[in-house]
Amino acid sequence: MSSTPVLFTYGGALFLLRWIHFMAGVTWIGMLYYFNFVQGSFFGETDPTTKSNVVQKLVPRALWWFRWGAMFTIISGVCYIGMMGHDYHNSWGVCILTGASLGVVMWGNVWFVIWPAQKVVIKSAQQVAAGGQAIPEAAARGARAGVASRTNVLFSMPMLFFMGAASHLGLQVSPQTDLTIYAVVVAVIIAALEFNALKGKSGPMTTVKGVIHCGLGLALVMYAVAECLTR
């Protein structure tokens, strides 16, 4: 008697999507933390020649894994959520959609803020190394990419919290509760912080310790909002 292999069933397809999502997500967030926790500190301590060599040769390779990790994380995540077909007026839905909202904004920062800016920075370093002139806007573009990258670290902590909470920390979501207010509050929080990423400065996120503390604080605030506005 023949049977369909588990991986070719509906449940198997969902598992494969989750596996791809985890693999891509680890790659993406791992590179994000490398840039912010390791490379940034190194750049602050090394000499200009070494920094230039790193920008020209190492950074482009790291950014390739970074941006495509983000892309495959989002694609697999959207496909997974779409296939689940849940009633999202429950604990799983609230948590997964909150985490996904943060993830989508982070993906946008990668592809439309950080990567375009870093291309200018890399090209400028290459021109200088070849005896040419630096691109005038390279420093400003690099600084904007830095704020956006710090903001992604900030977002990553509540994002990972809610992704994990979807299956492992149930919220007491009342069937009678209108989740519109919760959605609006979350949207306002994310929009305000994203506006700062695009137009503002790092502020307390300038240091590694600062951005970690801010990220943990944001996760706590967003969890408190979820507990208060979904009951």
Please name the residue ranges forming H helices in 34-114. Answer: 40-45, 48-53, 59-84, 91-109
In a domain, 189, yes or no: yes
Give the residue numbers spanning the domain of 46. Answer: 6-229
- The amino acid occupying position 133 is Q
In a domain, 125, yes or no: yes
| Predicted pLDDT at 88 | 78
In a domain, 192, yes or no: yes
| Residue 2 pLDDT greater than 70, yes or no | no
| Virtual torsion, Cα 21, 22, 23, 27, nearest 10 deg | 100
In a domain, 124, yes or no: yes
pLDDT confidence tier of residue 45, bands split at 50, 70 and 90 = very high
Over residues 90-104, mean pLDDT:
96
| Predicted pLDDT at 120 | 98
Q: What is the pLDDT of residues 138-195, one digit of tens each?
A: 999 999 999 999 999 999 999 999 999 999 998 999 988 999 999 999 999 999 999 9
In a domain, 58, yes or no: yes
Q: How many domains does the chain have?
A: 1
CA distances from 37 to 76, 162, 170 (A): 27, 23, 31
Rg of the chain over CA atoms, in angstroms? 20
In a domain, 59, yes or no: yes
Question: Could you say which DSSP state residue 133 is in?
Answer: P
The encoded tokens of residue 128 equal 């200088």
| Residue 1 pLDDT greater than 80, yes or no | no
In a domain, 12, yes or no: yes
Measured over the CA atoms of residue 222, residue 223, residue 228 and residue 229, the dihedral's sign is positive
Name which residue leads in pLDDT, 174 or 124.
124
Over residues 19-36, mean pLDDT:
98
In a domain, 1, yes or no: no
